[in-house]
Amino acid sequence: MSPILALDKISKRFGAIVIADRIDLALGEGEALGIIGPNGAGKTTLFGIMTGTVTPDGGRVAFEGRDVTQLSPARRCAMGIARSFQVPQPFGGMTVFENLVVAAAFGGGKPERQVYARCLEILERCGLAAKTNRLAGALTLLDRKRLELARALATGPRLLLLDEVMAGLTPTEIDEIMIILSDVRSGGIALLIVEHVMRAIMSLSDRIVVMANGRKIAEGLPAAVANDPSVIEAYLGRRDHGPA
């Protein structure tokens, strides 16, 4: 079976700085793949290349077997690729419900009145049903994170890219987001997760890819990757000095 997403020799540099060095990556239908690495490793840029906001210097991006390297973010979203951002970017002057309607109607390409029921279902699923009519700009950080995830889901994705969705949250709040993501995963949506909360990404991911200095330095099952000497050196820190 062909992967839902495949990167073939993706390269990107900004001046003399190499952000992606001939990266190969494949994600299967319904799989959860985690990407970890130190700050500046190229993870968020790789997300931009997958979603179309960043143009690679070389290589190919394929979604469901189709070359999408030159397609716009809007076209990719309509095909089933959605993402959340590390810093939530809701329409603060709109209600929570209106934010979802915009995502579902414009991102998902459906008439507004046809998306109301689905938007309410997603709000319930993400723990925001009681705040449907609250202005998005008045939400707490946790609820803004929930809304960011809900808006991505409202587009009807087959692949969901999550960029540090748990950053800044307390351990209890992280647990709440993990429950939501496990539920999303059970619905058959493939997940690509960039995250620094190690217990979360190790628990949610089937496989882990490790990046450093624009290169993929390791890939495998979470337990194996966590014990890989190159990963410990580049990301977790040397064993004799403890985690970095």
Examine the pLDDT at 237 and tell me if it is beyond 70: no
Examine the pLDDT at 240 and tell me if it is beyond 50: no
CA 202 to each of CA 57, 127, 182, 185, 194: distance values in angstroms, whole numbers, following the listed order: 31, 24, 13, 15, 11
Is residue 182 one of the residues assigned to a domain? yes
**Residues 6 or more apart whose Cβ sits within 8 Å of residue 73:** 51, 52, 53
Is residue 85 one of the residues assigned to a domain? no
Is residue 31 one of the residues assigned to a domain? yes
The per-residue pLDDT for range 29-53, each reduced to its tens digit, is 999 999 998 887 888 899 999 999 9
Same domain (yes/no): 109, 69: no
Poorest-pLDDT segment among 38-47, 168-177, 230-239: 230-239
Strand order in the sheet with 5-14: 17-27, 5-14, 58-63, 66-67
H-helix or E-strand spanning residue 176 = helix 171-186
Same domain (yes/no): 173, 143: no
Closest by CA position to 26, among listed 159, 115, 181, 152: 159
Taking residues 59-65, report their average pLDDT. 96
Confidence grade of residue 236 (pLDDT, cut at 50, 70, 90): low
Domain containing 38 equals 1-80+158-244
Is residue 117 one of the residues assigned to a domain? yes
Same domain (yes/no): 4, 34: yes
- Cβ(128)–Cβ(58) under 8 Å? no
The per-residue pLDDT for range 118-136, each reduced to its tens digit, is 999 999 999 999 999 999 9
Is residue 192 one of the residues assigned to a domain? yes
pLDDT at 230: 80
Confidence grade of residue 243 (pLDDT, cut at 50, 70, 90): very low
Same domain (yes/no): 37, 21: yes
Cross-strand partners of 113: none
Examine the pLDDT at 1 and tell me if it is beyond 70: no
Domain boundary among 127, 156, 185: 156
